[in-house]
A = this chain, B = another copy of it.
Amino acid sequence: MAWWKVSAAGRDVNPDLTSERERPSFNVETLTNILDGGVEETRVRRAVVSTVIKDPVFSREYLYFKTRSERYEGAIRNSLHLKKKFKEMGWDENGREVDYVYRAIGGETALNMHYFFIRTINNLGTDEQIAKWIPLARNYKIFGTYAQAELGHGTHLRGLETTATFDPNTQEFIIDTPQITATKWWPGDLGKTSTHAVVLAQLYSNGKNYGMHPFIVQVRSLKDHSPLPGISVGDIGPKMAFEHADNGYLMMRNIRIPRENMLSRYSQVLPDGSYFKNGSDKIHYFTLIYLRVSILRGEVMEPLMKACTISVRYSAVRRQSELKPGDREPKILEYQTQQQKLLPLVATCYATNFTVQYMEKFYDEVYGEIQKENFNSVPELHALAAGMKALLTEICSNGVEVCRKACGGQGYSLYSGLPSLYTKVTASCTYEGENTVLHLQVARFLIKCFAGAQLGRPLPTSTAYLSSQGAGTCQARTPADFLTPEIYMKAYEDRAYRLIALSAHKIQNLVRSGMEQYLAWNSTSVELVKASIAHSHFFTVKIFTSILNSVSDQPDIKAVLKQLCDLYALHGIFTSAGDFLQHGYLSGKQVDMATTAYLGLLAELRKDAVPLVDAFDFADEELLSALGSYDGNVYHNLLEWVQKDPDNKKENSVFETYLKPYLQSNPSKL
């Protein structure tokens, strides 16, 4: 058991939470192990987390009161201290410890792009370049960043406008942002930290454009940190969250850098300006996939898990209004409407966890294949990563906001922890590829697979169902039938199949009727996005059901996971019923049955609600929430937080300056 549970149990736990924990239908610790991926992983995670949260340097106690500058300073301090901590503790800088630290520290770190700078040089630099730059970066003799996105272009990389023009006379590249839309915009660590950047720029040599290439550019003095001549650099200002991150902008006016500063493992410019390619730089573009997979755990799934933990515990402690006339005010978790807000999201956490585990494993497999020059699985991985990124960021972000609103007014206070979770997680819908753009990339892959299936070509596993579809209707005859994975899996499969097939036919028909291909695509894009979502949603349901087979020897665990899987699937049918009804796979009566089964599950899972979020195993210091602490003393917590607010301790200058003159001009005799 985690020490934070033991220690909280030693305090006065709110009896409303104690009673929730008395009779879980399953072993909570076992479920935690499954979520972590094994007993040993749980042990390592807890060791890392407790080390971090016990270290006062990393304390987040006053986080909600801090300014942007203070948050930034804290993130830098954390990162520099972490380097020592890793050494001291013997943690692996490339291991799972990194995830666990990030979790424990709530993401309040800097230098993430510095490490991406290192990664990029390692991937794209020659051996000489690696030998020169990596030690400097590793020892913080320089601080780097990766400058790709521009003011005018984000997801669409080919449109980037920064140029690198080779001057054979001086053997230099001239790096230039020729118009304001070419200004580099967003790179992390650039705002106030970096001295160097890997700049992505359009390479020109001998008058010819060779496309995007990476160049190392120094942007600030190592002596006094001032921008070098010709450089404008600074912070892009306040954002919806990420207060600690110094995202920056960078303008470069004909900056000259030596020829050696072009990262040249895969392509180089010779002294005479001629250009050579040495093999494929696919490995670099594989990084995009890596980023999309790697954010899912810490930036997407954990925020929803935290939000569920907070809102479910609060709902078991908050008593309000009247259910049975004359009775004591019930816990708000007794209301069906509250169950319907929260329990499907708890199920979504589990679905997401298993999907993320799958994606991490699949990524590692494909990465292993690539090392052996086998690129066969890359298109499928690319599509899956794009689809899962777009689907999970959307449902997890929306879910966090539902949790927040489910806590009523208290959810609006930063002390609840929920606003900060939302304003941060929602960014994931946009960064590492805007979701609509990603869905359309997935759709392109699906349409291609569908066409391949028509021609009898073999398909990747995740789209194999496009080959074998027979028209049909659902066989369910009772609500209980909808608690059969085969039944709802088929419904999801049919929905995905039909939406893909209909989009493909629509495009085909439009083209046949004389419309240009690109217009036909655009005129179908709303439906294509729906098809991509349906495909990805189906995929997550499939993953979840496959997990059920792997826990057959643990009946208590299997039972509760099956309920969660059923709920996850039926929630989707309940909220997107139109997709399942429109082409007749489900009848109206069957949707009624599915609804009955769905509402029945809410009542069932309500009993395990608190143990199910306890299994996520967050320490109070990780949740940073007055409403979500393990002991459930929410009102005490809120009053304690209020006492911490520095504004409540300061003199109120507004009184002296503005109020007093009124109150005391000709004072009343009150």
Contacts and interface: CB of A to CB of B under 8 A. Distances in A.
A657 B390 CA distance: 40
A655 interface: yes
Contacts of A249: 639, 642
B518 A323 contact: yes
Given A180-B636, A663-B222, A648 B234 contact: yes
A238 B159 contact: no
A320 interface: yes
A518 B67 CA distance: 49
Contact of A235 (B526, B580, B588, B647): B647
Contacts of A285: none
A30 interface: no
B578 A236 contact: no
Given A155-B408, A336-B526, A592 B582 contact: yes
Nearest to A578: B577
A335 interface: yes
B141 A668 contact: yes
A187 to B, nearest CB: 12
A516 B577 contact: no
A662 B138 CA distance: 11
21 contacts: A67-B67, A69-B647, A73-B657, A80-B662, A136-B670, A193-B659, A222-B667, A222-B668, A237-B415, A237-B641, A239-B413, A240-B422, A240-B423, A337-B526, A408-B430, A409-B430, A577-B578, A577-B582, A578-B581, A581-B581, A584-B588
Interface stretch (A1-9, A145-153, A264-272): A145-153
Contacts of A658: 73, 76-77, 80
Interface string A585-615: 0001001100100010000000000000000
Nearest to A143: B659
Interface string A331-365: 00011111011000000000000000000000000
Contacts of A583: 588
A299 to B, nearest CB: 14
Contacts of A670: 136, 141-142, 218, 222
A525 B238 contact: no
Interface residues of A, number: 130
Contacts of A415: 237-238
A185 B638 CA distance: 10
Q: What are the 3 A-B residue pairs with the smallest beta carbon separation, nearest first? A: A577-B578, A240-B419, A140-B662
A666 B666 CA distance: 69
Interface in A219-271: 222-223, 225, 234-240, 249
A93 to B, nearest CB: 17
A119 interface: no
Given A156-B320, A409-B186, A238 B65 contact: yes
Contacts of A619: none
Interface in A149-170: 149, 151-156, 159
Interface in A267-316: none
Contacts of A142: 663, 668, 670
Contact of A237 (B151, B636, B645): B645
Given A156-B321, A156-B329, A195-B663, 20 more contacts: A73-B654, A76-B654, A136-B668, A141-B662, A154-B320, A154-B408, A154-B409, A155-B321, A156-B322, A159-B321, A223-B664, A235-B647, A237-B414, A249-B639, A323-B522, A338-B436, A423-B423, A577-B578, A577-B579, A581-B581
Interface string A429-444: 1110011110010000
A192 interface: yes
A197 to B, nearest CB: 14
Contacts of A518: 323-325
A529 interface: yes
Name, among A192, A335, A523, A654, the residue most crowded by chain B CB atoms within 10 Å (CB to CB): A654
A68 B223 CA distance: 36
A374 interface: no
Contacts of A549: none
A405 interface: yes
Contacts of A371: none
A579 B577 CA distance: 8
Interface in A197-226: 218, 222-223, 225
Nearest to A646: B69
Contacts of A422: 240
